[in-house]
Each structure stands twice: as C-alpha cells, then as structure tokens.
Amino acid sequence: MNRLSWFNAVSLTLGFAFLYIPMIILIIFSFNESKLVTVWAGFSTKWYGELVQNQAFLDAAWVTVRVAVFSSTLATILGTAAAYVLVRGGRFFGRTLFSGMIYAPLVMPEVITGLSLLLLFIGIGLDRGILTIVLAHTTFSMCFVSVVVSSRLVTFDRSLEEAALDLGCSPAQAFRLVTLPIIAPAVISGWLLAFTLSLDDLVIASFTSGPSSTTLPIKIFSAVRLGVSPEINALSTLMIAVVTVGVITASLVTKRAMMRQRQDELAAVRAE
Amino acid sequence: MRHFNPDRHTGADLNSTVFAPWEDPQAKPLIQFRNVTKRFGDFTAIDNLSLDIFEREFFALLGPSGCGKTTMMRMLAGFETPTEGHIMLGGQDIDPIPPNKRAVNMMFQSYALFPHLSIWENIAFGLRRDNMPKPELDARVEEMLRLTRLEQFARRKPHQISGGQRQRVALARSLAKAPKLLLLDEPLGALDKKLRQDTQFELMDIQEKTGTTFVIVTHDQEEAMTVASRVAVMDQGKLMQVATPDRIYENPASVYVADFIGDVNIIKGRASAQGDETYRIDWAEGQAPITATSLAGFENGQTCHLAIRPEKVTISAERPVDAVNAIQGKVHDIAYLGNLSTYHVQLPDGTIIKAQSANTRRISRRSFTWEDPVWLSWTATAAVLLAS
C-alpha cells in the first residue's frame, strides 16, 4: 500500500469532513438526553421511543413509502420504454429532439415542475392526494431511469436481440426473454434511484400533496419550522441508516457478482 | 487448397457422382437472388445482383470489408429487405417474411450467446419458441450437444467456457431448429489459426452430416477455399465470379479475382494471335515476347493481362533449354515461409516477379541468395490471359 502524501491526506480529510460532519452531528444529537438540540446532556434513546408513538410521523412515513414504490415502479416502466425506443428505434423523425427533451426535467427547477403539475391537476379537476404525488414523482424521476437504462442499452450487443428474432421470437418476446433479463441490473438501479428521489423530494410533493397526504419530508420540514426537536434527529438518523444499508448491500452484491464472473472467465481461459 | 471432393454427392443426384447441381439445368435452386439491389441512403451496398444457391451447398461469400457480403447475409436472415428485386427461398418470395418466421438460422460473428442462460438453455431457446414437446426437445438438445461435443458443458453459462467452445455452442444453437438454410457470419474470426483450421474441417463434417445448406461470409480466402463447394467473390456490391474453389484459383475471370485469391504476378502487354488458342504477348521493350494459351479470344494488339501464380514459375540458375518462356533477373528479396520460399526477382526494367519453390533442402543449402542472377521460366499453359 502506498502512503498518502500530506497534501492528498489533507485534501481527503477536508473533503470528507465537508461531506459528513453535518450528518455525524445530527446522528450524535439524536441520542441526546436533553430536549434542547444544541446542548448535550448525556446518552439516551428515548427520542426513538417517542418517535414510534408519534402517529403523525408514522402516517407520513407510510404515505411516503407507498408514493415511492408506486412512482418508482411507474417511472421504471415508462423510463425503460423511452430509453429503448430512443436507443433502438433507429432514425425516426424528431429522434434528436426527443432524446434531448427527455433529459430536460433533469435540469428543470423543481419549483417550475411542481407549479406546472399543480396547474395541470387543478385544470383537470384532480383532487390532490397520494395519486397526484405519485404522478408528479413519476414525471420527474422517469428521466433519471431513462438515463440509467439508455447508458446500458448503448453498450448492449444488438446481435443478441437479432439472435432471439432469428430463433423465432417476436420482437416483444425478444425483449422479455433476452433484453430485459440482461439489462435487469440497470433497470433495478434505475428503480432504486427513482425510489430514493421520491423519498427525498420535498418541493414537488409540497405542490402536489393534499391535506390527507403529507409525505415524511413535508412533515419534517413543517416540524422543523416550529423548532428542531431531537425527535426529528432520531427520524433523520433512521433514514440515514436505511439508505446506508441499502447502498452497501447493493454495492456488495454487484461486486460479488462481478468477481465471480471474472473468476469464471479466467477459469475458462485456462481450460482452453 | 482443397480441390474438388468427389465424395460429396447426394442421393438425389443420380446422373453424376460429383455434387455439382449448378451445372445441372434441371436442378431447382434453394435460394435465388433476382436482380437484388440494396441501398442505404445514397450508398449502394448490393448492385443489381442475381445468384442461385442450391440445396446442400456450402456456399462462401468472399470479399473485402464493405463489399456487401454481410448485407447479402442479413437480407437472407430477414434483418434487411431488398430495395429492389426479390429473394426466393424454395421458390417462395421471402421479402415480406420477418426473421422469426423464416426457416433460416444464423450463426453470429460475435456468437450472440445469451449470457443469462446456460449452454443447454441457449440451444433449447429456438425449440422452445416452437413449443416443441418436452421429451422431443430434450432429445434434440442432447443430439446437438453430442454433435458439437459439448455434453459436459451443458450446465455452464457462456462466460464459463472457452472461445472455441462458445463457437460450437453458437453452431449448435443455430442448427437445433434444423433450418433449411444456415448462415454463418465470419464464424471462425475470433479463433486463433490452429483452432480455426480444425474447426473448418469440423464445420464441413457437420454440414455433410446434417445435409443443411450453409452460406458462409468470410474475408479469409483460405477459409472460403477450404470449406466451400462454391465461392462467390464480391466487390462493391457486385459478384466478380462465382465458381468452385479450384476454378476461382486456376481460372480467375478478372485481374481483381486473380489478385484477391492468393498471390499472383500480373504482366500487362499486347496480345497477337499465333496459331490456335495461342497468343504472343509483347510486354516490354527489349524483352522476348511471352507465349500463352487462352480459350478466350483476343484481337491483335489488344491490351491483356497475364496472370501467373508464383508456384507456377520455376526459378533456376541456368536458362532451361526447353523453356517456352524464360526471363532473366536477379534475386531482390526472399520470403522464407518454412515449407516454401518466395523469391522476389527483379527484371532489368524494375518489374518484380514472384517465384515460389518448396524448400526440399535445409535452408543452409539453399541454391540462391540475394543479388544472384537467376532465370524464371514457365510453360505456355501456366498463365491465364485476362482482358481486364
């Protein structure tokens, strides 16, 4: 192992300190005994206990999870379909325009997306609630899915699909039996991305949510405006834990699969 | 080079023992290209091409990259449709039939094995699409595994086997549905030379065992000569010559074909008749004219090209007494190939003529070396006289 030069060591420390100190402080204070957030008064887990009792938070969490599951699933279906057509559709009229336009929501300010969706829902007389948040989240997260899936499709060997057609598949069967299983990792990571985006979102959700459908970020934000409570810290810590476990599991699974594949390939080369 | 194999004959062909349906006017071709043109935008990939391919043939499409050979194959598979003209398979126009409905299977250059399926499942893939009953399907897959000697790899995934084994899986998968026609797109391109030669014979063996019509696309002329019953040499979307490997080599129709297949010396000159089917070629100032025979007629004074293969040119220290054609020069370069040596002999006017001879003696006892004056000689029938 190479030792880091002092310059690199300082850069690394500064960078990571910048990234993680706020979160570490939040985690530490979630175990604070005192009700005052900024004054340390000893270790305690009582705020986690109180959190479980808080029906409003639990309701908001349940709404958030439902919205995230539905919107990310819908976004994955639409985003994958869009990516497939844009990468595989050949040269049709307006293709360049479409592929540029599908990425526009990536750079669109959320306030504008939220506002325009609000106007649409009012215009068509759709009552705001879970359905409208799901639709809104689908709208803005499907372009992320499409980016992830199309970058996989670009490197996908087209002759695999041709082989499927050649062996008697209809185009739909070829997609279901060959393309989809092979690009599945990209589709799954697209889904995970859409899921996290939906969990995190505050701006668009606040435009499109109704009185009966408060998501967790909205709930936290409105609670914080009345003053930060240790209960919020505890809730945030739990969210960090969930995300961390998810990310670590996903990367371990990917790494193991890659290592196994490499070992197999090496063994095949040696056997030759 | 494999010359015509007299063992290849079919039961249907009672009149002759040699498999040559292309010489039988009664024979019905399996595939017919009828004035097929294919354009991609402004680019003409296939230019008004007509071609018949017969049942049980091992037909090679040979040409440099971009000559249109892959387009021909993709049109047969159904991935491209002709811009003009028609392609018939067994007398039926197949242009409107999508690839999944054709009795044609293809072995892809990249093999295109499904990475998420085992070898067994890869081979069974096409059979499952036909809803073949389970016992039959099992038997067919086992048969294919046996044919390609892959029995012990059935449960593995494509990335768990070697390149040569993958090539055999691709072949087994494309043969499993017993297609009328099997297309092979540069099937051996990814293999190293030794394995490629073994596999060529294996392919011929499997082709004869299954009786399937094979159309192979390749840019490797040796491969085409080895495996094919007939070879089509292509250039810029046109057929330059369609003939058996030995005819392509010994009787090329043009300078292009002569030059594309194997090594050749081309001497340009003017022909004048000198008796029956014999011509005198004046080719350089102060050099004796060359005598050559030709079945094709030439007018007196017509420009012609004399094509002669290096192995048909004899190299010697003294002028052979009875030689019809003999030219003096000096050894410019020697390419030592182990079994053969190719001598590049420079004539007084600067022309280089290649002469090849078998190294029957050890290299230390070689007769000629650089700058040695030598005589090149050949018979009147050794060369081919070409108009263009």
For residue B105, which amino acid is it?
N
Of B100, B115, B162, the CB nearest to A169: B100
Q: Determine whether the interchain pair A164/B125 forms a contact, defined as Cβ–Cβ distance below 8 Å.
A: yes
Among candidate residues B310, B383, B318, the one with its CA nearest the CA of residue B342: B310
Q: Does A271 touch chain B (CB under 8 A)?
A: yes
Selected residues 156-215 of chain B with any CB under 8 Å from a CB in chain A: 157, 159-165, 173-174, 177
Question: A211 CB contacts (<8 Å, ≥6 apart)?
Answer: none
For A217, the domain range is: 58-227
- Tell me the CATH number at A64: 1.10.3720.10
Judge if B287 and B217 occupy the same domain.
no
CA atoms within 13 A on the CB side of B65: 1
Rounded Cα distance, B79 and A162, in Å: 8
Share of chain B above pLDDT 90, in %: 61
Judge if B207 and B338 occupy the same domain.
no
B251 has pLDDT over 70: yes
Judge if B207 and B269 occupy the same domain.
no
Q: Determine whether the interchain pair B110/A159 forms a contact, defined as Cβ–Cβ distance below 8 Å.
A: yes
Q: Determine whether the interchain pair B162/A269 forms a contact, defined as Cβ–Cβ distance below 8 Å.
A: yes
Judge if B47 and B187 occupy the same domain.
yes
Judge if B215 and B86 occupy the same domain.
yes
Judge if B285 and B253 occupy the same domain.
no
* Residue B281: inside a domain: yes
Question: B252 CB contacts (<8 Å, ≥6 apart)?
Answer: B241, B258, B261, B307, B384, B386
- Tell me the CATH number at B187: 3.40.50.300
Among candidate residues A205, A191, A220, the one with its CA nearest the CA of residue A113: A205
Confidence of residue A193 (pLDDT cuts 50, 70, 90): confident
Which of A208-222, B58-72, B171-185 bottoms out in mean pLDDT, i.e. has the lowest?
Answer: A208-222
Q: Does A258 touch chain B (CB under 8 A)?
A: no
Q: Determine whether the interchain pair A170/B115 forms a contact, defined as Cβ–Cβ distance below 8 Å.
A: no
Confidence of residue A1 (pLDDT cuts 50, 70, 90): low
* Residue A21: inside a domain: no
B13 has pLDDT over 60: no
pLDDT tens digits for range B189-200: 878 888 888 888
Of A162, A182, A269, the CB nearest to B116: A182
* Residue B172: inside a domain: no
DSSP β-ladder status, B352-358 and B340-346: antiparallel
pLDDT at position A271 is: 62
pLDDT at position B17 is: 62
**CA closest to B79 among chain A residues:** A162
For B186, the domain range is: 21-103+179-258
Which of B120-129, B316-325, B361-370 bottoms out in mean pLDDT, i.e. has the lowest?
Answer: B361-370
In chain A, the number of structural domains is 1
For residue A185, which amino acid is it?
P
- Tell me the CATH number at B299: 2.40.50.140
User: Tokens 């039961």 — which residue?
Assistant: B11
Judge if B235 and B270 occupy the same domain.
no
Integer angstrom CA distances of residue A77 from A141, A145, B229, B256 = 11, 9, 51, 54
Judge if B252 and B271 occupy the same domain.
no
Last residue of a domain, one of B195, B229, B258: B258
Q: Determine whether the interchain pair B159/A261 forms a contact, defined as Cβ–Cβ distance below 8 Å.
A: yes
* Residue A128: inside a domain: yes
Which chain B residues contact residue A266 at CB under 8 A? none
Among candidate residues B300, B234, B250, the one with its CA nearest the CA of residue B242: B234
**CA closest to A262 among chain B residues:** B159
Question: A270 CB contacts (<8 Å, ≥6 apart)?
Answer: none
Judge if B48 and B191 occupy the same domain.
yes
Judge if B219 and B337 occupy the same domain.
no
Rounded Cα distance, B225 and B231, in Å: 7
Classified as helix, coil or strand, B87 is strand
- Residue A208 sits at φ, ψ, to 5 deg, of -110, 0
Among candidate residues B161, B261, B263, the one with its CA nearest the CA of residue B218: B261
Last residue of a domain, one of B258, B280, B296: B258
Give me chain A's average pLDDT, please.
Answer: 87
Judge if B187 and B200 occupy the same domain.
yes
Question: A11 CB contacts (<8 Å, ≥6 apart)?
Answer: none
**Rg, C-alpha atoms of chain A:** 23
* Residue B160: inside a domain: no
How far A156 CA sits from the closest chain B CA (Å)? 11
Judge if B75 and B208 occupy the same domain.
yes
Q: What's the whole-model pTM score?
A: 0.80
pLDDT at position A17 is: 93
DSSP β-ladder status, B278-282 and B58-62: unpaired
In chain B, the number of structural domains is 2
Last residue of a domain, one of B258, B286, B316: B258
How far A197 CA sits from the closest chain B CA (Å)? 30
pLDDT at position A89 is: 75
Q: Does B297 touch chain A (CB under 8 A)?
A: no
* Residue A155: inside a domain: yes
* Residue B323: inside a domain: yes
How far A249 CA sits from the closest chain B CA (Å)? 22
Which of A118-132, A244-258, B369-383 bottoms out in mean pLDDT, i.e. has the lowest?
Answer: A244-258
pLDDT tens digits for range A78-127: 999 999 988 887 777 778 888 888 888 888 888 999 999 999 999 999 88
DSSP β-ladder status, B31-40 and B43-53: antiparallel
CB-based contact B383:B292 (threshold 8 Å): yes
How far B2 CA sits from the closest chain A CA (Å)? 28
